Amino acid sequence: MHRAVIGSASRVLQATARAPLSLPVLPAPRYHAMSSQQLLVPPPAVLRQPLAVPDRLLLGPGPSNVPPRILAAGGRQLIGHLHKEMFQIMDEIKLGIQYAFQTQNPLTLAISGPGHCAMEAALLNAVEAGEVVLMAVNGIWGERATDISKRLEADVHQLVKLPGEYFVLKEIEEALAQHKPSLFFITHGESSTGVLQPLDGLGELCHRSVGSPTRCPVAGQTVWA
């Protein structure tokens, strides 16, 4: 009896497997190609034209002309963010940052962002609450650095010049002797006025003024686009 039932069930399954699959018929989707005559705003004819970029000499604070070496690099094929070459590039960038900041900290990271991001990252890593910092202000970037340092609860002092003027070593030396800061901030390329601040001898001056080569680092900001 059991064998007969099993055999009958097997024949039913085989017949079902051989039968064509019957699916419900769905209505066709109601869509059609977009026609220019049916659009409220037709496609702009100007977008069909090739982009014409004039060859100009840019002399403002930004943007500025890109060197041919950078243009050539931008025309090369991209690599993926998980390719081994990308890891090599990131390691080389890390070594460069460690050299620039004279650190052996393994958590040395490259951050993608604008100039304000770079300035904030530098100050966040160099300024502690209550520390004395001296800000050379002759434009908007010195003002922004001052604001960031105040938010970090540092003891902020300013060395101020009118917009368009630059600082000389003598007045910087006097301010360093007066305030004895843990960090001195100065803008190398002040884009709001176009002033290029000379930096020759500044690092040595800071170290000599506080009597330590590590106590008063110089946070320099270059803001050109």
3-class DSSP string for 69-130: HHHHHHCCCCCCCCCHHHHHHHHHHHHHHHHHHCCCCCCCCCCCCCHHHHHHHHHHHHCCCC
In the numeric block, the tokens 């003024």 are attached to 209
E strand segments, the chain: 132-137, 155-160, 183-190, 195-196, 218-222
pLDDT value of position 102: 83
Pick from 82-86, 136-140, 156-160, 213-217: least confident: 213-217
Contact 199, 169 (CB under 8 A): no
pLDDT band at residue 52, thresholds of 50, 70 and 90? confident
- Is the preceding omega at residue 63 within 30 degrees of 0, hence cis? yes
Can you tell me whether residue 76 is helix, strand or coil?
coil
Q: What pLDDT digit, counting tens, does each position of 165-199 carry?
A: 999 999 999 999 999 998 999 999 888 888 899 99
Angle CA 87–93–99, to nearest 5: 140
Q: How many CB atoms lie within 10 A of CB 52?
A: 5
Q: What pLDDT digit, counting tens, does each position of 109-134 carry?
A: 888 888 788 889 889 988 999 999 99
Total residue count of the chain as it appears in this document: 225
- Tally of CA atoms within 13 A in the half-sphere of 179 that contains its CB: 23
pLDDT value of position 122: 86
Mean pLDDT of the chain: 82
Question: How much is the CA Rg of the chain, to the nearest whole Å?
Answer: 33
Contact 42, 36 (CB under 8 A): yes
pLDDT value of position 28: 59
Highest mean pLDDT among 11-15, 19-23, 118-122, 207-211: 118-122
Contact 207, 173 (CB under 8 A): no
Largest pairwise CA distance in the chain: 112
Distance (Å) of CA 72 to CA 68, 75, 77, 78: 6, 5, 11, 13
